[in-house]
A = this chain, B = another copy of it.
């Protein structure tokens, strides 16, 4: 069973990755994305982030995740996919997104997981705000 969820609660990586395991499978690959403490600015200085806020267009985000999983299934020989993205306030180091992909052969699981996170960052309507000591900034992706 595939699944795709938004949550405001901390994400437990094990529970995500174990939910995609079917009995015939050999490997699960999991991407755990989390907040950086220091980010490089355009002028090459680094800035310390205090915490982050993620905001989602929830209904559309879930639809886009579902589309990504459908596309991944066409492109890669995979068994199950689980995607959980957190929203709301996140402390540094807390997991913002987990993507787990199980497959009979691990090569497909690696390829699909890497493809899914790249596409998620490009298409799923979720936005990140970095909050600094004296300021805050909505991060804009690249089109």
Q: In the bound complex, do residue A106 and residue B117 qualify as a contact, i.e. CB atoms below 8 Å apart?
A: yes
Number of interface residues, chain A, beta carbon within 8 A: 29
Stretch at the interface among A9-17, A68-76, A80-88, A135-143: A9-17
The copy count of this chain in the complex is: 2
Contacts A110-B110, A110-B114; A27 near B32 (Cβ below 8 A): yes
Q: In the bound complex, do residue A26 and residue B17 qualify as a contact, i.e. CB atoms below 8 Å apart?
A: no
Q: Does A36 touch B at the CB level, under 8 Å?
A: yes
Contacts A12-B14, A14-B13, A14-B14; A106 near B23 (Cβ below 8 A): no
Contacts A21-B93, A106-B117, A110-B110; A27 near B31 (Cβ below 8 A): yes
Bits for A30-46, please: 1 = Cβ < 8 Å to B, else 0.
11111011100000000
User: Can you list 14 pairs linking A and B with CB atoms under 8 Å apart?
Assistant: A12-B14, A14-B14, A17-B30, A17-B32, A23-B93, A25-B36, A27-B31, A27-B34, A28-B31, A28-B34, A29-B31, A30-B31, A31-B106, A31-B110
Further pairs besides A23-B36, A33-B106: 5, Cβ < 8 Å: A14-B14, A17-B30, A21-B32, A26-B33, A29-B29
A: which residues have CB within 8 A of B?
A: 12-14, 17-18, 21, 23-34, 36-38, 92-93, 106-107, 110, 113-114, 117
